[in-house]
Structure 1
């Protein structure tokens, strides 16, 4: 009987008796692995499989020896079935398995933990075992995720982003501006004008209620806004000649008002009250020569003065 040189497996090889050869069976004394070794001719070359003694399993294709090489001891059958292996194949597989296990121990990959994340409020590190809240592209301790105004916990609740800090719905609403026209909180876009806040739909002309958003406007002494036409119609002086307000022409922002004898005139309406001759605003012979509260040209003024002297 011949003992295997391997320390992890043992094999028994019964000796042939003089009678005609017949297969012999012998139990291996090894406690780690057991094999039955029937005596027979080597099988044709084919891949072999062997279970590794480690906790992992590997498949290793094995080649049979060349035809010119003497055959090693007969193949070893694996209990319970499987492809039989000869001793050389078993030793080679065990050597490769041991080399693989040794490489795993010496060349194990270095596993680096991901960088620690910091709380978006207190700046301290977040433990993997602590509950955390992700919001506004930040990570918070659950106790740190609270309203910036009232410190109310906000986990699972609606909140608003106020310059990177969370704020609860009540505190956010209380901080909103009040519309100067309707008196309600402004929850959307705020329109500021003449030192006041308005809803965009509330900023309208005080006379015709047309929207003044993005349009020119004028305010009165009480800061009430008006569109330009309505403001002029309401507050511009009236011409004593035509009884129309003195306002700029369409497309213009300025106009000329003539004042004479505390009376207001359009430039085109500034005429002699007797002959309707246009009067110049300059102090010359074509200008105004008032008499007895009348706006007169120089010629009509002279005639009235002569009549009064007679």
Structure 2
């Protein structure tokens, strides 16, 4: 109840903290600050977390991907924000790279998978082999060689070893042998 003195007609009524309107005790809503509010002011200022029911200031509430208001604790438990664009995602729907969450669009824009070892690589660090497949730096260094003729990466299995670390890709090898046959 309020600390204010009241006449006998006002007993059982409380003043709304926000607008000052008198409301009956059975119509009072208590906000996140534990002060009394009329229904109209309460609806403007507060929300009840969809998950746990906690009353929070609307300006402090977070929104789920389904546009439901939730408190910060429930947001941290169930949701994340995309590292790049800030879009809200459910934790189990995010793509993670080095424990950083990404939405599908940002993940596809920034990352790819090495076709040899399956590791996730940033597109800025991606290498392409002669077949246009994505290769990580480690695989490029350990399992690929550079064709001396065209400069493209070719897997050691596909490369033609000519002499003293001189390799050709299958296409350049065939072209060189066609010229030699003529």
Question: Taking structure 2 as the reference length, what is the TM-score of the superposition?
Answer: 0.47
Higher relative contact order (CA 8 A, sep 6+): 2
Q: Which structure's residues are more often strand, by fraction?
A: 2
In our comparison, the structure showing a higher alpha carbon Rg is 1
Q: Which structure's residues are more often helix, by fraction?
A: 2
